[in-house]
Amino acid sequence: MIQDLKYEENSVKAVQCLNDMVTNALLHAEDCLKYMSALRDLSIFRFCAIPQVMAIGTLALCYNNIEVFRGVVKMRRGLTAKVIDRTKTMADVYGSFFDFSCMIKSKVDQNDPNAAKTLSRLEAIQKTCRESGLLSKRKLYVLPNKASYSSTIYPSFPASLSTLAMQIIALGVQRDMGLQACEI
């Protein structure tokens, strides 16, 4: 019975069941991206895109997380606000789908019965995002784990400050979610 999944002795089966449900949900991501890429009206686009970004973000939080059976697991208000504020273009959607799929990928347990299927679906999502050609225009929700140094010289102090603030916010999101990002 589904209610038995909350008990400690059923933790392994509970997480495997959860991971299977998340994997099944990932099957729809590519169609979702295709549909949203066809939307031309900005208000309709945002009306559709924001819930989809929230959905894949929630899948990233839930995947391989036993706490789903013990309490409430949801995106923090700050991250939710960032998603609402930063989801304005298809580049933003591809970027968020790519970032959140990277997070899920970092949590895949090779011992999970659906690991290969999950990884395959994540690769398909990431491939779609890469092939869009828009990832370079994305707004980051998380930053890569390794230190990266840019040779870009910022023309003004406000631009540097703004960039630094964005990096600090992104690192906070990464820390809050306890996850790592992957590279393009």
Q: pLDDT tens across 47-102, in order? A: 999 999 999 999 999 999 998 888 888 899 999 999 999 999 999 999 999 999 99
> What 3-state DSSP class applies to 74?
coil
**CATH architecture for residues 2-138:** Orthogonal Bundle (1.10)
pLDDT higher than 90, residue 35: yes
Encode pLDDT of 139-169 as tens digits.
555 544 443 333 322 333 333 333 444 444 4
Please say whether the beta carbons of 62 and 103 come within 8 A.
no
Q: How many Å from the N-terminal Cα to the C-terminal Cα in the chain?
A: 41
Q: What percent of the chain has pLDDT over 70?
A: 73
Please name the residues in contact with 66: beta carbons below 8 A apart, sequence gap of 6 or more.
11, 14, 15
Encode pLDDT of 101-136 as tens digits.
999 999 999 999 999 999 999 999 999 999 988 877
The token pair that represents 165 in the structure block: 């603030």
What average pLDDT is seen over the chain? Answer: 79
Query: What pLDDT is recorded for position 179?
Result: 47
Give CA separation, 10 vs 17, 113, 141, in Å. 10, 16, 33
pLDDT confidence tier of residue 172, bands split at 50, 70 and 90: very low
Query: What pLDDT is recorded for position 148?
Result: 34
Instruction: Give the residue, 33 or 174, on which the prediction is more confident.
Output: 33
